[in-house]
């Protein structure tokens, strides 16, 4: 069992998520207050867009743990 993958994911996913949040906050400064529905759509998409990337990392980790 190789536990280093868990450590790599833990130390890799948190900074990546922090960078993503920072980028979305920066991008939102250009979009917000144009229209309420545009704000709502942006925050829904930005809030859910990180899930496929995190899911692929978890899938990679699970595939290697199953061996």
The model scores a pTM over 0.95: no
pLDDT tens for residues 11-46?
888 899 999 999 999 999 998 888 999 999 999 999
pLDDT tens for residues 42-61?
999 999 999 998 889 888 88
Q: CA–CA separation, 17 vs 53, rounded Å? A: 10
Domains in the chain, number = 1
Query: 20 is written with which tokens?
Result: 């993503």
3-state secondary structure of 11: helix
Domain span holding position 50: 4-65
DSSP string, 17-65: HHHHHHHHHHHHHHHTTS-HHHHHHHHHHHHHTHHHHHHHHHHHHHHHH
Q: CA–CA separation, 64 vs 6, rounded Å? A: 11
């Amino acid at each position: 069992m190789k536990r280093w993958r868990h450590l790599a994911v833990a130390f890799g996913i948190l900074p990546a998520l922090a960078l993503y949040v920072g980028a979305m906050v920066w991008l939102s400064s250009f979009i917000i207050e144009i229209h309420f529905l545009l704000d709502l759509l942006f925050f829904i998409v930005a809030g859910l867009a990180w899930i496929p990337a995190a899911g692929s990392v978890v899938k990679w980790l699970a595939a290697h743990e199953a061996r």
